[in-house]
């Protein structure tokens, strides 16, 4: 399962683009495409960066999340991130269409992916409850659907929209079939959720 899929014949992988003048990998130690990252005492990561449980069947023909540990330049603080791109909703029906309930293809696989990702995050917060953790990317799902409800319930993370107090009517990033929707999200640990302006100090 070293290929990530994402499109027919494709091999899409998630990655980080960052400004080293602002943030840098703490003790870089990249893992391979098949090695599973682990949360060690500290907390710290066994590999930095590396994938989360890449051989798990939840990621079949899909992109694997990439976990990293970072040091911020400005305030010298440590932060953990998980970059995701869950399996596609391709072929699903519109939430405004005739199908009731709407057809949501891939939801069971996204639930499994959310569970694997959440357990990894929960292990980080078990080591350090006040750790700064961000899980972000294309979750290919709405926040009110089971996969992302699983994510918040198991991981202990909070939807950044909720933490920042954004009005529900403003929680969208694109328009599709005249519907305001959001499939890309950012979820943060309680430390950041209690003070979302912390993100501006990076």
pLDDT in tens, 184-196: 999 999 999 998 7
pLDDT higher than threshold 70 for residue 171? yes
Mean residue pLDDT across the chain: 89
Identify the band that residue 201 occupies on the pLDDT scale cut at 50, 70 and 90.
low
Per-residue pLDDT tens over the stretch 92-111: 767 666 677 777 888 999 99
Residue 88 CA to residue 141 CA, distance in Å, equals 9
pLDDT at residue 69, rounded to an integer:
98
Residue 59: closest CA among 16, 108, 109, 15: 109
- Residue 159 · residue 105 · CB < 8 Å: no
190: β partners? none
Task: Round to whole Å and give the CA distance between 57 and 62.
Answer: 10
Q: How large is the average pLDDT for residues 146-166? A: 95
* pLDDT score of 1 more than 50: no
Of the listed ranges 27-31, 90-94, 111-115, 138-142, the one predicted with least confidence: 90-94
Is-contact 55 10, C-beta < 8 A? no
The predicted-structure confidence for 2-60, as pLDDT tens digits, reads as follows 567 766 677 788 999 999 999 999 999 999 989 999 999 999 999 999 999 999 999 99
- Dist. CA 83–CA 98, nearest whole Å: 34
Helix (H) or strand (E) holding 51: strand 50-51
Helix, strand, or coil here: 143?
coil
Which helix H or strand E contains 66, and what residues bound it? strand 66-72
The reported pTM is: 0.90
H-run or E-run covering 158: strand 158-159
Question: Residue 127: helix, strand or coil by DSSP?
Answer: helix
């Amino acid at each position: 399962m070293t290929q990530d899929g994402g499109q027919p014949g494709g091999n899409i992988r998630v990655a980080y683009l960052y400004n080293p003048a602002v943030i840098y990998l703490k003790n870089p130690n990249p893992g391979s495409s098949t090695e599973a990252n682990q949360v060690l005492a500290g907390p710290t990561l066994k590999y930095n960066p590396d994938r989360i449980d890449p051989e798990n069947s939840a990621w079949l023909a899909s992109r694997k999340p990439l976990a990293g540990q970072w040091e911020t330049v400005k305030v010298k603080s440590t932060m953990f991130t998980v970059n995701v791109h869950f399996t596609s909703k391709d072929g699903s029906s519109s939430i405004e269409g005739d199908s009731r309930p709407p057809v949501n293809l891939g939801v069971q696989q996204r639930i499994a992916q959310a569970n694997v990702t959440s357990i990894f995050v929960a292990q980080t917060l078990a080591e350090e409850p006040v750790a700064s953790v961000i899980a972000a990317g294309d979750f290919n799902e709405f926040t009110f659907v089971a996969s992302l409800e699983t994510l918040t319930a198991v991981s202990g993370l909070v939807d950044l929209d909720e933490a920042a107090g954004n009005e529900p009517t403003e929680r969208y990033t694109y328009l599709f079939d005249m519907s305001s929707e959001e499939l890309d999200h950012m979820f943060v640990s309680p430390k950041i959720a209690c003070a979302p302006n912390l993100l501006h100090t990076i």
